[in-house]
Structure 1
Amino acid sequence: MNWLEDLNAAMRYIDAHLTEDLSAATVARVAGCSPFQLERMFPYLAGTTLAEYVRRRKMSQAAIDLREGGDRVIDVALRYGYDSPTAFSRAFRAVHGVAPSVARRPGAVLALYPRLVFTLSVQGGNAMEYRIVESSEFRVVGIQADNGPWSVECAGEKATEFWASVGPRVHDVLACMDGSEPAGLLGVQFCEKGAFDGYMCAVATGAPCPEGMTERVVPAATYAVFSCEGPMPDAMDSLWHRILTEWLPSSGYTWETHADVERYLTPGMTAPDSKSEVWLPVRPAEG
């Protein structure tokens, strides 16, 4: 199966198992990727998170069950994995704008979110320049994000919040540089056993880890490296969108579940001429 077929198989699987616990790990197995990758790419491909898509599909089907069947609201709630009628009602209102009991009334206005079908679309033909870099493992030292629980789906928002909180401490991180590569200020999103495992503002270095900072090792990997110009976070978000929707499906490479690295090359990250890079771990696609 190819990349699009795998994703569409996962969407069909979701629809066939709406009354079951649809974890990211389960759906990712059908899609042929890791939960980290699926949750990371899904918002770029679908415009919403995987969890929100599953919720919308469940509530779409729940509305049909309520409108056409004679089941009690509590029965439908349990069918779609809600032990509490209150939680079910909250989820139902978020999708349809009305309480579940209203779904049975004649003329009730409900929302239907159809099953997603991914297709190959032809873009504007703009070239995406990249280079392949073979990197041995490297040690990083810096500040580990601790601003509440993270998930892959909220990583962009959380990263923006985290960088704002780092403030002047970034100079303490930069002071740890000793010429190790990749040089510059790094944003590293770690992946462990296919799942999100933390984010750091860091530098590659062999210097001792100062008190109050964290050290970790970024594993050896082959990276596809893309250049970015423009203010953070918008320019970086736009580049990630192009990488995952345009470059990756047609590149001949598969996204590896190692650490993703963003490299910031100019001091003013929000300046119009800010320069940065995305280092995407990859391996040649099979077949």
Structure 2
Amino acid sequence: MSGTDALLPPVNGKLTANAPLAPLVWFKAGGAAQWLFEPKDTADLQAFLAALDPAMPVMALGLGSNMIVRDGGVPGVVVRLGKPFAKVTALDDVTLECGGGASGILVSSTARDKGIAGTEFLRSIPGTVGGFVRMNGGAYGGEVKDILVSCDVVLRSGERVTLANEELGYTYRHSTLPEGCVVVAARFKGRPGDPAAIQAEMDRISASREASQPLRSKTGGSTFKNPPGHSAWKLVDEAGCRGLQIGGAQVSEKHTNFLLNTGEATAAEIEALGEEVRRRVKESSGVTLEWEIQRVGEFARTPDDQRVGISK
């Protein structure tokens, strides 16, 4: 670690050096964070970022459900929002105030209890509000851009700002949120609904996921974005990649747009498998698949300073 490590600002929350990230991400693979910061509240996060060396990288981590953390770990500070950021309350008859660390299950369940329809799709996305807002999370016909009113973010400078939906530049699984910022809250607007009907729709979505996705595996969710006019899983299947393996990483037999860690896969093996799938799909169909899964951190290095397990 560098000499700047000793100069990190004081915190009221928890700051851990060399914190393993594999236990915190769904793939259960990858390296450590140079620093893992779990702020006590928004003021704690603001003060820390304001005083932090501007050269120190900052990355937010939610449930780690759609992420590959490379084996060399993540330099700088990884910010993880815990219970203080996981509250969901009703602002009015159709609007929810959601903490950046709140899960999709909590948001949709609270909406149901308040008779607010329109957020049911969040039940099917294993992530937190911060990740949903950044990635324009969506499934089963709904997207965050359809329900977001505004969000509060703490910029890398420590300044807290409120951004309206139209300021986020939403496209498919993408926003223009500033690099290094952390989403600490968001407001979602639905429509009046019957709690029983909302629950029925959530049940339908849950059953559909259970039938089609490898939910009890070490996975990262949807690996590739659906190209215009195509389904990623179908392109992968047609390229002959169902069940394809590299080391401990495998393309799911149940849903070919999911990669699995079958046991002790390295992050390098998982990423290499994804790149091999992309190569075969391009060769088979002419379509270039784009990663939906975030790949973060540094590759592990050999004594010769070469990447491990990644073909060029």
Shorter-chain TM range is under 0.3
Q: Which of the pair is proportionally richer in helix?
A: 1
Larger Rg: 1
Q: TM-score, normalised by structure 1?
A: 0.25
